[in-house]
Chain A
Amino acid sequence: METQFTEQFKEFLRSETDPVLRRLREVAFAVFAGAGFPTVKDEDWKYTNVAPLVSGQWSVARSVGQSQVVPDRDIDLVKRFETARNGFAALNMAFAAFKVIRIAKDTSVPEPIELLFATDEQVAIFPHILVIAEAGSKAILIESYASTAKSFTNAAVQIIVEDNANLTHYRVQRESSEAFHVGTTEVSLGRGSLYDSTNINLGGALSRHDIDVKFTAEGGEAFVDGLYMVGGTQHADTHSIIDHTVPNCTSHQTYKGVLNDSARGVFNGKVFVRENAHGTDAQQSNKNLLLSNDARVDTKPQLEIFNDDVKCSHGATVGQLEEEELFYLLTRGLPDSLARNLLTYGFAEAIIRKIGIDSIRTSLDEAVLNRLNVKLEV
């Protein structure tokens, strides 16, 4: 498949001097060239049409200049990335700007590790981050996307949380409402590890986030929570897979959606409890508020259990505000629109409040209040 990326890739590859990475990129690009971008005929993309993105003109950085040479010992971890999952993942690997973050064994990193990505109009970027939280370590990772123009961000983040490590991960996507954003997060959890992630999606004309979390040893715990709040003609899609392959792990997932105007949301959350994964505790919920008649959400929480000794719950709701809650605010004299906006804010805030960094949380709270036209001074 000849695409606008073929020539750009040839040029890009010239600057790749590391033979292993060169090979990796070539193979990935071949996968991309073969598969192309997903279409609505692909089951995982049936609600998300990427045609407007595909038809855009995107220029890619001409050299691997931005990319770090991946240390030898980490190459195998990078290779674990599921390049073949779709054309975006393959294209990311081909043009990847690598960065490896290693949190040393048994250390607690006091300051959060911050990654910020933004690019210009008609430019495509392909960050590819590998985070290894070594055994017994503790850290906070902040991954922010802030393009202010019609750009194309195609990001991949691989996270390995080793035994008894603890990683808190905030992913905040606040790109322009013209931007295109595709992101893939792959997380692998070791024995007794804790991974707590909060994924905020406010921006993008079209955004898609795939997050896969896999328990590889007993006693792991994961929180995979998120919020998508979109309006206008924005489209926000989250696909998540939480895979209990081993016994005695716990997962919690709460995703909330707020959709206004003719915005559209997609949530597809699969939880697998494999045959030998006894003692699994998996909770999943997806709640959506539709603020307008033209807004729409397609939600599909899926629980697939191949074991009886488990505690699982899942569910999805799509609806308007609770009448009793609204009535309560009205009886305090708040006009209908203010009462509704306040409750909507509260609905979204329940996710935002998870963010333990004051500056980020406050700024997200403000963004949500602004969208709802509420002034809440303290």
Chain B
Amino acid sequence: MLLEVKDLHAGIDGKEILKGLNLQVRKGEVHAIMGPNGSGKSTLSKVLAGHPSYEVISGEVLYEGKNLLDLEPDERAREGVFMAFQYPVEVPGVSNSQFLRLAYNQKMLHHGLEELDPLEFNDYLKEKAKVVDMDPQFFKRSVNEGFSGGEKKRNEILQMAVLEPKLAILDETDSGLDIDALRIVAEGVNTLRSPDNAIILVTHYQRLLNFIVPDMVHVLANGRIVKEGGKDLALELEEKGYDWVKGAASSK
């Protein structure tokens, strides 16, 4: 088991948002977490990535059998946890390639592997950029600065490609994308999908799942998973709307 979330209760500013969440993810799997706005999807993503503002009230999160919650966010990242942000942050003055090389080398250093010098890294980056069809002119630009919404999301997937995480959590990577950009991002994620990693797709809409077919779909409502199933659950959800599962949440 790569990730095991057991009866997780977590919140922010004294407000409980996740109210007993369970989730199991194996290597090689893609899990979709769907749910209406405000159901706690981003909260789950941020708790897994280690956002300092969120507090875990009770429950357990095991990553490769170890307590993930013990690790600082940067340690989690170097251990292979990656989160693509719903709203990626701009880092002025630091170019994409400088930033990615710093991040990549921190991971190498952590694993006792050889760091890449700027030239070597550039070759590596060029290769990775193909995954999201990213023009190398973006390497020189400051991280996310002046990027369109779609470019930011593509850049998140480029970072994922470079850092090769074992567990990638993609928070609403599809939001704000037109259909062409969505296709590129989805193809990128499909390329990165492998038996050695797992992907958690957090999304409000079903349409992303037409492009990235999940092994499992979990429906989150009011801080709990209220329905689980195979890829067809997403379609059913699209048809019946979230009210259908909200009913399930309250009858539980």
A interface, CB within 8 angstroms of B: 323-325, 327-336, 338-339, 342-343, 345-350, 352-353, 365, 376-378
Q: Which of B7-15, B50-58, B195-203 contacts A (4 or more CB under 8 A)?
A: B50-58
**What residues of B have a CB within 8 angstroms of the CB of A378 in the complex?**
95, 97-98, 118
Contact A339 B89 (CB under 8 A): no
**What residues of A have a CB within 8 angstroms of the CB of B102 in the complex?**
334, 338, 342, 376
Contact B52 A327 (CB under 8 A): yes
Contact B74 A342 (CB under 8 A): no
Contacts A333-B106, A346-B93 given; does A328 touch B85 at CB 8 Å: yes
Contact A328 B72 (CB under 8 A): no
For the complex, give the distance between the alpha carbons of A333 and B79 in Å. Answer: 9
**Residue of A324, A333, A335, A349 most packed against chain B (CB within 10 A):** A333
Contact B89 A324 (CB under 8 A): yes
Contacts A323-B53, A327-B51 given; does A333 touch B91 at CB 8 Å: no
Contact B106 A331 (CB under 8 A): no
Say whether B30 faces chain A, with CB atoms less than 8 Å apart. no
Residue in contact with B93 in the complex, picked from A325, A329, A332, A350, CB distance below 8 Å? A350
- A-B CB proximity, top 4 nearest: A349-B93, A333-B77, A328-B89, A330-B73
For the complex, give the distance between the alpha carbons of A199 and B6 in Å. Answer: 56
Say whether B34 faces chain A, with CB atoms less than 8 Å apart. no
Residue in contact with A332 in the complex, picked from B51, B142, B159, CB distance below 8 Å? B159
* Known pairs A376-B102, A377-B117 / 15 extra A-B pairs, C-beta < 8 Å: A325-B91, A327-B49, A328-B88, A331-B82, A332-B77, A332-B99, A332-B159, A333-B106, A333-B163, A336-B72, A342-B102, A346-B92, A346-B142, A350-B93, A378-B98
Contact A335 B106 (CB under 8 A): yes
Say whether B204 faces chain A, with CB atoms less than 8 Å apart. no
**Residue of A332, A346, A347, A365 most packed against chain B (CB within 10 A):** A332
Residue in contact with A333 in the complex, picked from B52, B107, B118, CB distance below 8 Å? B107
Say whether B166 faces chain A, with CB atoms less than 8 Å apart. no
Contact A331 B49 (CB under 8 A): yes
Residue in contact with A339 in the complex, picked from B74, B88, B110, B118, CB distance below 8 Å? B74
For the complex, give the distance between the alpha carbons of A336 and B83 in Å. Answer: 17
**What residues of B have a CB within 8 angstroms of the CB of A352 in the complex?**
93
**Contact residue range for chain B?**
35 or more
Contacts A323-B52, A334-B102, A334-B106 given; does A329 touch B91 at CB 8 Å: yes
Within 8 A of A (CB), among B47-81: 49-53, 72-74, 76-78
Residue in contact with A331 in the complex, picked from B50, B91, B107, CB distance below 8 Å? B50
For the complex, give the distance between the alpha carbons of A83 and B49 in Å. Answer: 60
Contacts A325-B91, A343-B91, A377-B118 given; does A331 touch B83 at CB 8 Å: yes
**What residues of A have a CB within 8 angstroms of the CB of B52 in the complex?**
323, 327
Q: Give the Cβ gap from A266 to chain B, nearest Cβ, in Å.
A: 25
Residue in contact with B74 in the complex, picked from A325, A333, A377, CB distance below 8 Å? A333
Say whether B103 faces chain A, with CB atoms less than 8 Å apart. yes
Contact A345 B51 (CB under 8 A): no
For the complex, give the distance between the alpha carbons of A353 and B145 in Å. Answer: 13
Instruction: Across the interface, name the chain B residue whose C-beta is closest to A333.
Output: B77
Q: Give the Cβ gap from B147 to chain A, nearest Cβ, in Å.
A: 14
Say whether B94 faces chain A, with CB atoms less than 8 Å apart. yes
**What residues of B have a CB within 8 angstroms of the CB of A332 in the complex?**
77, 99, 103, 159, 163
For the complex, give the distance between the alpha carbons of A330 and B74 in Å. Answer: 5
Q: Give the Cβ gap from A195 to chain B, nearest Cβ, in Å.
A: 24
Q: Give the Cβ gap from A325 to chain B, nearest Cβ, in Å.
A: 5
Contact B74 A336 (CB under 8 A): yes
For the complex, give the distance between the alpha carbons of A350 and B97 in Å. Answer: 18
**What residues of B have a CB within 8 angstroms of the CB of A327 in the complex?**
49, 51-52, 73
A-B contact pairs, 18 of them (CB 8 A): A323-B52, A327-B73, A330-B73, A331-B82, A332-B99, A333-B163, A335-B74, A335-B106, A338-B102, A339-B74, A342-B91, A345-B94, A348-B93, A353-B92, A376-B98, A377-B118, A378-B97, A378-B118
Instruction: Across the interface, name the chain A residue whose C-beta is closest to B97.
Output: A378
Residue in contact with A346 in the complex, picked from B51, B76, B83, B94, CB distance below 8 Å? B94
**What residues of A have a CB within 8 angstroms of the CB of B163 in the complex?**
332-333
Residue in contact with A353 in the complex, picked from B76, B93, B99, B118, CB distance below 8 Å? B93
**What residues of A have a CB within 8 angstroms of the CB of B92 in the complex?**
346-347, 349-350, 353
Q: Give the Cβ gap from B248 to chain A, nearest Cβ, in Å.
A: 32
Instruction: Across the interface, name the chain B residue whose C-beta is closest to A329.
Output: B91
Contact B98 A334 (CB under 8 A): no
Q: Give the Cβ gap from B194 to chain A, nearest Cβ, in Å.
A: 20
Contact A330 B77 (CB under 8 A): yes
Interface string of B214-234 (1 = CB under 8 A from A): 000000000000000000000
